[in-house]
């Protein structure tokens, strides 16, 4: 009962933030392939939120279901993910070496320095760190595991399309269950227009 109430309450908060939540299969990152679960996903992709009654009815019955959020322009969500604190510190060191005399570098450095208190802050089951922002063209989609030639972005993922799995979802991997957790539940904020670091690297 406690878990389903946490899920329902969190979905209401997401919707108040203007996000587009939908149900995902239990202990999984997979969407529902049929029934109403697929309809909710299709609706979310089209920008349609679940109603309060639909949230209560679905998650009241499907007590173990996970929650997804549409990312990208439709979902007004871009997610910046780091494999660990070390990756953030390494990026700050790189910018510092490049020179903090440049205004754009100084803004980026200060942004990273204050990142943990700046916007929505999430920990994933594998202890990665996510920061959620309103959709930004300065955060183009990128997966480090698929593009390891771009060394400057080692250990960094960006989700600005498709969907993400969101708290308080649980994932089972190798018979171990981990949870997506909200560290700071403030609403996603705008990503600074002045920070074009990721966009420039990914357009080279």
Residue 2's pLDDT is 53
Q: What is the pLDDT of residue 98?
A: 82
DSSP-assigned letter for residue 195: -
How high is the pLDDT of residue 103? 84
What region does 162 belong to: left with phi over 0, alpha with psi -120 to 50, or beta? left
- At 194, list the tokens: 């002045």
Q: What is the mean pLDDT of each run of 10 residues along the chain (204 residues)?
A: 80 97 96 92 97 93 92 98 96 86 88 95 97 98 94 96 97 93 96 94 86
């Amino acid at each position: 009962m406690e878990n389903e109430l946490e899920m329902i309450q969190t979905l209401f908060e997401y919707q108040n933030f203007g996000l587009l939540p939908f149900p995902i299969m239990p202990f999984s990152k997979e969407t529902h392939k049929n029934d109403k679960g697929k309809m909710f996903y299709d609706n979310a992709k089209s920008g349609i939120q679940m109603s309060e009654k639909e949230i209560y009815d679905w998650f009241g019955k499907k007590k173990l279901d996970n929650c997804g959020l549409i990312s990208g322009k439709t979902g007004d969500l871009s997610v910046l993910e780091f494999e660990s604190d070390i990756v953030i510190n390494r990026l700050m060191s790189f910018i510092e070496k490049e020179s903090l005399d440049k205004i754009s570098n100084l803004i980026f450095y200060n942004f990273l320095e204050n990142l943990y208190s700046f916007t929505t802050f999430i920990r994933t089951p594998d202890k990665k760190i996510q920061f959620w922002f309103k959709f930004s063209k300065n955060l183009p989609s990128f997966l480090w595991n698929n593009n390891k030639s771009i060394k400057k972005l080692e250990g960094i993922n960006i989700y600005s399309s498709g969907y993400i799995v969101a708290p308080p979802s649980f994932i089972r991997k190798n018979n171990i269950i981990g949870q997506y957790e909200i560290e700071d539940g403030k609403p996603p904020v705008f990503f600074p227009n002045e920070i074009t670091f990721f966009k420039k690297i990914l357009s080279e």
